[in-house]
Amino acid sequence: MGSPPRSSPRLSWRRVLCVLFLPFVSSGFAPPAKYRNNFIFERRKLPPNPRRFDWSHLTPRELKNRSQGIQTEERAGRNPYFTLEGHEFLILGGSVHYFRVPRASWRDRLLKLRACGFNTVTTYVPWNLHEPERGTFDFSGNLDLEAFILLAEEVGLWVILRPGPYICSEMDLGGLPSWLLQDPTSQLRTTNRSFVNAVNKYFDHLIPRVALLQYLQGGPIIAVQVENEYGFFYKDEAYMPYLLQALQQRGIGGLLLTADSTEEVMRGHIKGVLASINMKGFKVDSFKHLYKLQRHKPILIMEFWVGWFDTWGIDHRVMGVNEVEKSVSEFIRYGISFNVYMFHGGTNFGFMNGATSFEKHRGVTTSYDYDAVLTEAGDYTAKYFMLRSLFESILVRPLPPVPSPTPKAVYPSLKLSHYLPLWEALPYLQRPVTSNVPINMENLPINNGNGQSFGFVLYEMTICSGGRLHANAQDEAQVFLNETSLGILTDVYRDIDIPPITECQLLRILVENQGRVNFSWKIQNQRKGLIGPVTLDKIPLNWFTIYSLELKTQFFKKLRSARWRPLGGPSSSPAFHLGTLMAGSSPQDTFLQLLVSECPSTHACPRGVWKGGPRVLSLPHFNQGFQQVSVFLTFHCLRNNTSEHSGKVQTIIIRRQQRCGFSPRPPAPLHFPECGAANGFTCGFTSNCLTHTCHLFTLMGCSIKCILQLPSFPRILFFTRYILYL
């Protein structure tokens, strides 16, 4: 067979065509190769036109005639985009969790969100708070979800609802109720019958409350998210479709979406549902998996992280204003809808905080400040005014005026005057549980069979000899022989030596739940208290008396009739402390200042959880006149030369937790000259752990952690936990 003709007309035409187009292709006429898998960058060599929008008629109160909610459109020559009633619409969302903000402050936070230029508020819905016991639902007071949604509508904001059932959100067990852990066969976040039966009963109460508040029903809800970040968990491929059907069967429609990390979005999405992603900053490559999944849909960043949450023992995490500005500018430039997480973080009231468990178990702090656009106290930040300026640049009409800052007040220090040892408070608790073996917190036969969700649990048993005590305590326990402290147990250190004794004595183990893990597969194994047998020289102990210390309001009311002792000096055992604060006739928000009056001259303090010291304390529920404050203080001091900390700088931790929080960013800097200037909260220590004095200034219960560095000395660990009640 001969070779083809050297000058075939057809072959010549192709060659000429390639030669003619080669200069255009090589000069950048086509999209750069690295951008071809990112649909927002195709056809985007030149900057987009700086469009200005007029959404003044697209607010919940103005938009009366509704035929279609949020839709997606795609036109030649541009990227897909959202529309609302046919008008191009960017979702500019900000997260505010109603359950983390006192109800009296809801309006203030939402007005500030609107004045900043946002058009949407997003919120999670915590199952564990709304159904604390099976079949017992609470949608009142600070948990009045419907009132929050209607208030958002009144202010002029649309709502994206994220009802779970799992929400993560740094909540205890990711927002799942702890009573789900009672059934050993139940598999959380799967189609396991036990789990979905509980979900269905919860949805039967939750969804009817919000279904009539959807867009086409005349309400402000424009979108609903199905579960949360399931792409990482992904234990059951049938689970997400099941939840989608469960929502739709109960009347949820309109725009439905999922939310996952940029890497897990393909595993977490559901067919027919808009996939959204979470990220901390604009990066081209972050969209490649989303593009493969839904190249013909607009982008929604469900969580754009402008900060991060904090855990005990870690420096406060922040994100710079310039970083946020750069990403938001890119979002606007490319027409990307986004939700700022968090606009206002608020507070993990009570014991609702979750925990992380990577290198070790760390409870999330009571403060959920998040380095958000507003501080925990609701004050403005540089991020707020930067975002407001960016939004003004794309809007035709001026934004509403910025609301006035929340007024603050300075109150005198509070001196604790009386105390009640924990052992004398036991009769005021509910009747103890007796058992031949230790029972974990969730399986205690209390609260109508729902177990204990939060707080402490005290185990008492009789021993007649010393030896090596071994116990798996989650998360931390103090061990007492009668009323004498012997040391602590943790999820790492599970052994303590009991000294020789000549007669039978009472062994007490006080266990603290510091928060259940809220993320990863570890949520399945988050039972608290004593887990499994307790042994002494490898022989199991039995016959336990178990006290539940949930520290609920009713318990503190009972303590009013107790015989409190005058506080003449420090107590070396767990005790409740009492003080009175005069707040006057017009109480206002205030600041709590935590300072240390004595510390080694060679080390700066305080240090640790957040550099900068004391935090803000918000008091919208505070009443007129005087307030009584109860403080639960647990104390232990342990020497152990074999500790991993031996020979290193030691850590001293002070923690107080109950019903409100403080901000890592007070409006004025707070100074610690020579670790002195003890005004408000002072704690003094000596290196032998024998001297301890604390005076607490507070109006409502909060959680504070002050970490000091002391010179190295044989394992001395000091821990206090304050539980305040007004």
pLDDT for residue 699: 23
Helix H segments across 169-264?
193-211, 230-233, 239-249
Q: Can you give the pLDDT at residue 202? A: 98
Lowest mean pLDDT segment, chosen from 6-10, 274-278, 560-564: 6-10
Q: Is 389 left (phi over 0), alpha (psi -120 to 50) or beta?
A: alpha
More confident residue, 608 or 132: 132
The rounded distance, in Å, linking the Cα atoms of 323 and 446 is: 49
Please state, for a pLDDT cut of 70, what percent of the chain lies above it. 74
Residues β-bridged to residue 418: 566, 578
Closest alpha carbon to 350 in 142, 105, 622, 626: 142
149-185 pLDDT, tens digit per residue, is 999 999 999 999 999 999 999 999 999 999 999 999 9
Assigned token pair, 114: 């609107």
Q: Which amino acid is at 286?
A: S
- Written as six digits, the tokens of 452 are 């204990």
In the numeric block, the tokens 């000395």 are attached to: 713
Partners of residue 650 on adjacent β-strands: 710
* Confidence at 633, pLDDT banded by 50, 70, 90: low
| Secondary structure, 3-state, 623-636 | CCCEEEEEEEECCE
Which tokens hold the place of 353? 């905080």
**Helices (DSSP H) in 301-425: which residue ranges?**
321-333, 382-392, 422-425
At 305-344, the pLDDT tens digits run 999 999 988 889 999 999 999 999 999 999 999 999 999 9
Q: What's the chain's length in residues?
A: 726
Percent of the chain with pLDDT over 90: 65
- The tens digit of pLDDT for each residue in 502-533 reads 999 999 999 999 999 999 999 999 999 999 99
Cα dihedral 448, 451, 456, 462 sign: positive
Q: What is the pLDDT of residues 16-64, one digit of tens each?
A: 444 444 444 333 333 444 444 445 555 444 455 467 999 999 999 999 9
Global pTM reads 0.82
Question: In terms of Cα–Cα distance, which of 302, 247, 303 is closest to 274?
Answer: 302
Q: Work out the mean pLDDT of the chain and round it to a whole number.
A: 79
Q: Which residue has the higher pLDDT, 296 or 20?
A: 296
pLDDT of residue 54: 94
3-state secondary structure of 441: helix
- List the structure tokens of 474: 């989650």
Give the helix/strand (H/E) hosting 15.
helix 9-26
Q: State the Cα–Cα distance between residues 76 and 290, nearest whole angstrom.
A: 20
- Point out which residues pair with 419 in neighbouring strands: 565, 577
Place of tokens 């007024």: 407
Contact 546, 534 (CB under 8 A): no
Q: How far is CA 46 from CA 286, 354, 436, 580, 688, in A?
A: 21, 46, 75, 66, 69
Tokens of 653: 């931790």
As given in the structure block, the two tokens for residue 105 are 């402050």
As given in the structure block, the two tokens for residue 80 are 């897909």
Residues 291 and 318: their CA atoms lie apart, in Å, by 30
CA 464 – CA 483 distance, rounded (Å): 16
Query: Which residues are the active-site residues?
Result: 229, 303
| Residue 467 Rama label (left phi>0; alpha psi -120 to 50; beta) | left
Is residue 226 scored above 50 in pLDDT? yes
Burial class (CB in 10 A: 0-12, 13-18, 19+), 642: exposed
Prior bond of 441 cis (ω within 30°) = no
